[in-house]
Structure 1
């Protein structure tokens, strides 16, 4: 978890320097990020289920080794195609390590207070990695962008050694795993869906190839759903999708990640390209959110034990919504950091601290240990694909009338994107609070 947060934030800070040194166009540069998103989002669901079927320890260690090698290759190559390919392979590896790591946690700790505390610690490491990556990215980029790609290698090797020593062995599952057609349609459908979403802003949402890709992805995923209902041992038991709390958790993570990452994307452009801030200054400006998550997450487990996940998720999305609304109101071409930026950053930090742990807890509640990898992969797939879709729509709104995201004229051109992320957060809040409101209004017997 620390490693994933570290890698994503460091590479984001290093992109301008990387593009300048290798002479990459804006389109090529975005695929340094999108290549990772494509591999990660496309195979998360398969990665989680594979861990259930083949053994979590085995899948985790193999994928972690691939992650380390891909990180090393990415830091050594000069060819843009190889660099993007290494990011794609790294995303594939993360698609197996992320849900497997979470399912190891949820099967080790029983549902309830102990699991909630474990998930809170899990969140602390993610926030610490992301916050550290912002600062390290700013510092390492000044020495050379390659260091931001090479930095994860020793962390991955350390995790590999410790994982081999501490993670207990697990036998293969007795049933399942004989669904080759389901696996083929799932992987191809998810890859095509994620590719279409991340490529659409540059190509155009109404471009014939974009439309055909969307139709093809929908057809493949529809075929997957049909296959899963017919085969004796489905790769994904669709009954999981009939559990209301799990469905709401997956929609909530779309609202959380989609709005948060899109807002951060806009803030990065606004602070660096419009206000002329350095990468390090920008990182320090956004750092309070990560600090709040790191400090506050350990206490979220206790709040969940007392109030339940739905109320904590609702509070999280309310805090996020308030942060976006505040920046919409207080933002300007020359905003005051203490008045306009910092309050929004603090509200987002509170929202993310409350939301991530509680959503992950709700997404795995009531799921048998044999399907914890599936539930973990499902919620993380929702997070990544949802974030990619919201970010693509935000990018389209921010760059409308401009040739690139960095050619925006001022704060007013960010306002449609801010309205979008606010709307996404509010929709998530409405979905989360509806069962609570319905229960409160129902007549008592």
Structure 2
């Protein structure tokens, strides 16, 4: 794969695949891999930062807009439904229309919605804007990742790019948590919701100048497949989000989950027969790639417990402010950013299987360590060791499955692989948090609830460890 790919001119040549490529430099910016990576990593960081921003701002939103608990959950859920449901469609749109074009459009939509949400007068409008924001994030995430893969050739350069995106995302999350906590403590939640807007505007302005457009793939939209995948993924995410508050046998949980499974089963059947599928099922024939995809369903469970439970632990048992709680969680992204820097060299030295096994084993140890945390335990001896293990484990777990899922593919297959990877991570996050909340339910004391949640997190990390051990050893 070349370092940058060219776009064929519109017309008969592009439609038939028999035309000649556009003259060098006719439609493309001068390749700037470093700047392109900075823009793509910035987009990744912006999307990652949005979730903690909303969680920090949500108490103030509820108070000012008079939202019930159910309505407040929809402020988060509307975004997740749109994001998880439209990832595959966003990736296919990039195939046909051009990835840079769809990427910029997605970032612009996300940024506009982020600006509007800060001025909404009602909860209903906020929920609608959040759905629009999720749609923009889906288009940006699905295509930004493939633009990175297209910009850097397969091998060490691409692995370094993945590590840089991981480190930048972690570092920006750390800074964003502190800034959001400070703004929440000192001002209105509306100011917090504007944090992503300057970064989004910068990405929209810079992307066309530093990122080369990808070659458009001849084809058309599979509208039936797009509808089935969007509705199926959205139903699954919705059912799993409701499982955090209702029994699994409740109609609000079982109904959407069953509908989602049926819709996705029909979707898989249509992709087998489709001439131009949204998801290329041949991707799953490679054993290591299939295992890398499977790891994305369980890895979130080993990662999210610290943010979900410890932020409450700091404030309920230690009386910390939101800003102090953000400071308490800083070791996770800072360690992740530091370890990601050496992750490429480690992967090259020992291979993806041992690296992922070490990372998942660290997550098992971290969750078990924090499952014994009690109200009387201090931060330095009780919490910090677990956070350091979590940060290092996350860095070691991100690079191997990402590399395995996207290696050895033709350019026209990269979009499908990246969309599947993102979609499984989204569904996996919803699945893991629902199961963790279910496992921790029924305890009167928060310490017992937190302990059960971290025990469930250790089980998810152990499942990821088994997947890592099932990978084939690296060929010498």
Question: Shorter-chain TM-score category?
Answer: over 0.9
Partner of 1:405: none
**Aligned with residue 170 of structure 1, among 209, 214, 222:** 214
Shift of 1:323: 0.7
Alignment of 1:409 with 2:452, yes or no, is: no
Matched residue count: 431
Q: For 2:188 and 2:119, how far apart are their aligned partners in 1? A: 12
**Aligned with residue 309 of structure 1, among 321, 335, 352:** 352
Q: For 2:465 and 2:270, how far apart are their aligned partners in 1? A: 34
Gapped regions of structure 2 (runs ≥ 5): 1-43
Shift of 1:170: 3.2
Q: As a proportion of its length, which structure holds more helix? A: 1
TM-score of the pair, normalised by structure 1: 0.92
Partner of 2:30: none
Matched position secondary structure for 2:375 = coil
Contact 2:340 2:395 in 1 (8 A): yes
Structure 1 stretches of 4+ with a deviation exceeding 6 A read none
Partner of 1:300: 343
Q: For 2:322 and 2:73, how far apart are their aligned partners in 1? A: 17
Partner of 1:148: 192
Q: For 1:207 and 1:126, how far apart are their aligned partners in 2? A: 37
Contact 2:296 2:425 in 1 (8 A): yes
Summarize the alignment of residues 91-106 of structure 1 with structure 2, pairs less than 5 Å apart: 91-106=134-149
Partner of 1:291: 334
TM-score of the pair, normalised by structure 2: 0.87
**Aligned with residue 431 of structure 1, among 455, 459, 467:** 467
Summarize the alignment of residues 70-81 of structure 1 with structure 2, pairs less than 5 Å apart: 70-81=113-124
Contact 1:188 1:220 in 2 (8 A): yes
**Aligned with residue 363 of structure 2, among 311, 320, 338:** 320
Contact 2:358 2:393 in 1 (8 A): yes
Contact 1:64 1:156 in 2 (8 A): yes
Partner of 2:54: 11
Q: For 1:321 and 1:280, how far apart are their aligned partners in 2? A: 28
Does 12-21 or 192-201 show the bigger shift?
12-21
Contact 1:189 1:218 in 2 (8 A): yes
Q: For 1:395 and 1:22, how far apart are their aligned partners in 2? A: 27
RMSD: 1.8
Of structures 1 and 2, the one with the larger relative CO (CA 8 A, separation 6+) is 1
Shift of 1:137: 1.1
Partner of 1:391: 433
Matched position secondary structure for 1:201 = coil
Summarize the alignment of residues 34-433 of structure 1 with structure 2, pairs less than 5 Å apart: 34-142=77-185, 143-174=187-218, 176-329=219-372, 331-400=373-442, 409-433=445-469
Q: For 1:120 and 1:233, how far apart are their aligned partners in 2? A: 32
Does 276-285 or 163-172 show the bigger shift?
163-172
Q: For 2:442 and 2:115, how far apart are their aligned partners in 1? A: 37
Gapped regions of structure 1 (runs ≥ 5): 402-407, 440-445
